[in-house]
Amino acid sequence: MVDFRYWVTGQGREIHSIADDLAVRLGQLGDGWLESSDVSPKYFEFTPIEMHALTQRLKLPGPTCPDQKMIADIGNAVSFLNRVKALKVRGQKGYVGTSNIVWNSAEYSIAFCKNLMALWDLLVPEDNCIPITQMEKWPLIEKIDCSFNRIEEIDDSVHVLAKAQYLNLSHNSITEIGPNLQHLSGLVELDLSANCITELKSWNEKLGNLKKLTLAENSIRDLSGLSKLYSLEYLDVRGNDIEEIESIASIGRLPCLETLLLRDNPVRKVLDYRIRVLESFRERSGEVKLDNKKADGKELDTINVRLALRRAKEEKEARELRKKQKIQEKINYLSGDDNLGSGKSRSNSNSTTSEPTTTQSN
């Protein structure tokens, strides 16, 4: 492996110089950048070479500053990275300058980023990964974007994301979420669009606190597996294979759902599609946005009439059921079926009574 301590760029600066230049720049501007980011949050971008230079510089013996005025004190860079909350490490394809050094091959540490809450472009070679059981949790990472990869399953590596609130796994090859997401108790937003999901089995057991769920561009046919996600406020299932209103009706019991996106599903061709879907929310039908549009006055009038007819039908069925139950109780009483238990006990007692013996006289 190339020793970066002796690596020189096209501009003639070695690792020591790169770290010193960063120290000067961050010493002069770092505090102002951090203060402005508190008002208007933004990320700070470094290259892998810069991060590698800082990592290697901290390993070298000698003073932290090459000049007496402390202008290039490496502590400036360390202090900045210790306070930064959003970091982006942007590499690029190919080699650095005219050297044989690959841009993204520079190893570096982010251990001094103690307050990091957002991280972009973290590339980890699989052959260099330590076992997941040996990894420490990342308690400050709240947003994770793993989109456009080749992920096929959500394995136990998500355990390190203990405080994750937002997870983007879109444009992968996931077929089911498995059991591991249940460890992310703080997860409120999940994007699984453009995957290979076909079924939603008991997702409430794995995503109990979820508020926003994006499942667009999958192959889902039925939403009943989401019927107990009681915290859900936003559901996007555009571009799936949902054909029947009955496949949607079960989520009408979700008390917090405000937005439902169903565009590009076969079910939209069903007669009175909007009215029948919104009707499943019953008294909340006027609160829910279906495909970004609430029910208009005409739709609400129709829904209210349909709900009134449904209630009348349900009440009639309930009365008829109670009537049948009473009739059956009378039939049972008259036929003695309600005393079968006591009759049985009497017959049992009779069978156990010994028959009287007769004495034959001579």
Check whether residue 209 and residue 101 sit in a common domain.
Answer: no
Q: Is residue 103 domain-resident?
A: yes
Q: Is residue 268 domain-resident?
A: yes
DSSP per-residue string spanning 59-73: TS-S-S-SSTT-TT-
Q: Is residue 218 domain-resident?
A: yes
Check whether residue 29 and residue 157 sit in a common domain.
Answer: no
26, containing H or E segment: helix 15-39
Q: In what order do the strands lie in the sheet with 234-236?
A: 44-46, 86-89, 118-120, 143-145, 166-168, 189-191, 212-214, 234-236, 259-261, 289-290
* Residue span of the structural domain in which 54 resides: 1-116
Mean pLDDT of the region 307-335: 83
- CATH of residue 225: 3.80.10.10
Lowest mean pLDDT among 80-84, 149-153, 227-231, 280-284: 80-84
pLDDT top residue among 62 and 222? 222
Task: Identify the band that residue 120 occupies on the pLDDT scale cut at 50, 70 and 90.
Answer: low
Q: What pLDDT, on the 0 to 100 scale, is given for residue 358?
A: 46
Q: What is the pTM of this model?
A: 0.63
Q: Is residue 322 domain-resident?
A: no
Q: What pLDDT, on the 0 to 100 scale, is given for residue 167?
A: 95
Check whether residue 89 and residue 165 sit in a common domain.
Answer: no
Domain boundary among 243, 265, 295: 295
Spatial CA neighbour of 252 closest among 273, 272, 214, 278: 278
Query: String of b and e for 224-243 (b: at least 16 CB within 10 Å)?
Result: bbbbbbebbbbbbbbbbebe
DSSP per-residue string spanning 215-230: --SS-----GGGTT-T
Q: For the segment 75-113, what is each residue's pLDDT rounded down to a tens digit? A: 788 888 888 888 888 777 677 666 676 766 777 888 878
CB neighbours of residue 54 within 10 Å = 23
Domain boundary among 280, 295, 310: 295
DSSP per-residue string spanning 230-282: TT--EEE-TTS----THHHHGGGG-SS--EEE-TTSGGGGSTTHHHHHHHTTG
Check whether residue 45 and residue 141 sit in a common domain.
Answer: no
Q: What pLDDT, on the 0 to 100 scale, is given for residue 244?
A: 95
Q: Which amino acid would we find at residue 223?
A: L
Residue with tokens 């501007």: 29
Check whether residue 186 and residue 274 sit in a common domain.
Answer: yes
Q: Is residue 123 domain-resident?
A: no
Residue 144, beta-bridge partner list: 167
Q: Is residue 252 domain-resident?
A: yes
Question: Would the pLDDT of 349 be above 60?
Answer: no
Check whether residue 69 and residue 7 sit in a common domain.
Answer: yes
Check whether residue 168 and residue 110 sit in a common domain.
Answer: no
Q: For the segment 21-80, what is each residue's pLDDT rounded down to a tens digit? A: 888 888 888 888 888 887 777 778 888 888 888 888 888 776 666 665 556 677 788 888
Check whether residue 279 and residue 153 sit in a common domain.
Answer: yes
Check whether residue 176 and residue 291 sit in a common domain.
Answer: yes
Q: Is residue 31 domain-resident?
A: yes
Check whether residue 174 and residue 281 sit in a common domain.
Answer: yes
Q: Which residues neighbour 350 within 8 Å (Cβ) at sequence distance 6 or greater?
A: none
- Counting the structural domains of the chain, the total is 2
Domain boundary among 46, 81, 116: 116
Q: What pLDDT, on the 0 to 100 scale, is given for residue 345?
A: 44
Check whether residue 109 and residue 144 sit in a common domain.
Answer: no
Distance (Å, whole) CA 325 – CA 327? 5
Check whether residue 188 and residue 40 sit in a common domain.
Answer: no
Q: Is residue 53 domain-resident?
A: yes
**Are 234 and 258 a contacting pair, CB within 8 Å?**
yes
Q: What pLDDT, on the 0 to 100 scale, is given for residue 230?
A: 95
